Amino acid sequence: LKVDLKMKEFERLCVNVVNDFEIPNEKRKALRVLLNSCFPDYFPQREYFKQIPKFRYLVWNEEKLIAQMGVEDRVINVGGDIVRIFGVIDLCVEDCYRSNNIATNLLIMLENLGQQNGIEFIIVFANDHKLYRKNGYKIVTNICRWLAIDELKSVDIFEQPLTDCFMVKSLSPKPWNDGIVDLLGYLF
Ligand SMILES: CC(C)(COP(=O)(O)OP(=O)(O)OC[C@H]1O[C@@H](n2cnc3c(N)ncnc32)[C@H](O)[C@@H]1OP(=O)(O)O)[C@@H](O)C(=O)NCCC(=O)NCCS
């Protein structure tokens, strides 16, 4: 059953922006339930996949958690250029609330936060590009280097293009360089 939100109803949703470490246990439980229903089998015992996001947007309809977006806050090396980025992690909206622009609104909120604070690019790794294309993200073809983590163990440094999923949105006039992108950490 779909929930069709009118603009007024959307404004009544409560959006918290919280450091991950500050999320209390009962809300953490709700987060795990939401992540499990949106990404089946990815979050068996925890609310993160490879590592803990720095902060999260949590969207509540009264007591019910209906959407979340984790955010990575990092510098990366783009062809020798050190740039400050936000990374979008595990953005999801509960099934029956989808297609009400909730994800789009979260992306816009993150973009505004980034712009106010000198963040130069927002990055996402997404197999399905539709939502992000609609919001101005573009595929980039750079070769990427990152720390491979498997089952909570560092296993290797990988280096390969991620042309099927690596998307970038620019928040400043700075151009996106060619050359190797060193993520200076794990692939979120
Ligand atoms: C992707 C997702 C967060 C979109 O949330 P939403 O609030 O419905 O998004 P919006 O209303 O702002 O935009 C909807 C558009 O997103 C696009 N979209 C749908 N599913 C998508 C997906 N899995 N990935 C990317 N884009 C998607 C479609 O173009 C859709 O347009 P439509 O409503 O005309 O079909 C939601 O579908 C979801 O939670 N999917 C499961 C988890 C997931 O795949 N997350 C993406 C991780 S990168």
Span 89-116, pLDDT tens digits: 999 999 999 999 999 999 999 999 999 9
pLDDT at 8 over 90: no
Q: Write out pLDDT tens, residues 131-186.
A: 999 999 999 999 999 999 999 999 999 999 999 999 999 999 999 999 999 999 99
Query: Is the beta carbon of 130 within 6 A of some atom in ligand 1?
Result: yes
Instruction: With cut-offs at 50, 70 and 90, classify the pLDDT of residue 7.
Output: low
Query: Is the beta carbon of 84 within 6 A of some atom in ligand 1?
Result: no
Average confidence (pLDDT) over 44-69? 95
Query: Is the beta carbon of 100 within 6 A of some atom in ligand 1?
Result: yes
Pocket test for ligand 1, best of 59, 131, 167 (most atoms within 8 A of CB): 131
Query: Is the beta carbon of 61 within 6 A of some atom in ligand 1?
Result: no
* Ligand 1 centroid, distance to 95 Cα (angstroms): 10
Instruction: With cut-offs at 50, 70 and 90, classify the pLDDT of residue 129.
Output: very high
pLDDT at 3 over 70: yes
Phi first, then psi: give them for residue 164, nearest 5 degrees: -85, -10
* Ligand 1 centroid, distance to 186 Cα (angstroms): 24
Query: Is the beta carbon of 142 within 6 A of some atom in ligand 1?
Result: no
- Residue 99 falls in which region: left (phi positive, over 0), alpha (psi -120 to 50) or beta: left
Q: Higher model confidence: residue 42 or residue 55? A: 55
Average confidence (pLDDT) over 55-67? 97
Average confidence (pLDDT) over 53-60? 98
DSSP 160: E
| Nearest protein Cα to ligand 1, atom 17 | 131
Query: Is the beta carbon of 135 within 6 A of some atom in ligand 1?
Result: no
Q: How many CB atoms lie within 10 A of CB 72?
A: 22
Phi first, then psi: give them for residue 30, nearest 5 degrees: -65, -35
Entry pTM: 0.96
Give residue 12's pLDDT.
86
Q: How many CB atoms lie within 10 A of CB 179?
A: 12
Query: Is the beta carbon of 91 within 6 A of some atom in ligand 1?
Result: yes
pLDDT at 5 over 90: no
Give residue 134's pLDDT.
98
Query: Is the beta carbon of 93 within 6 A of some atom in ligand 1?
Result: yes
Instruction: With cut-offs at 50, 70 and 90, classify the pLDDT of residue 45.
Output: confident
Average confidence (pLDDT) over 5-25? 89
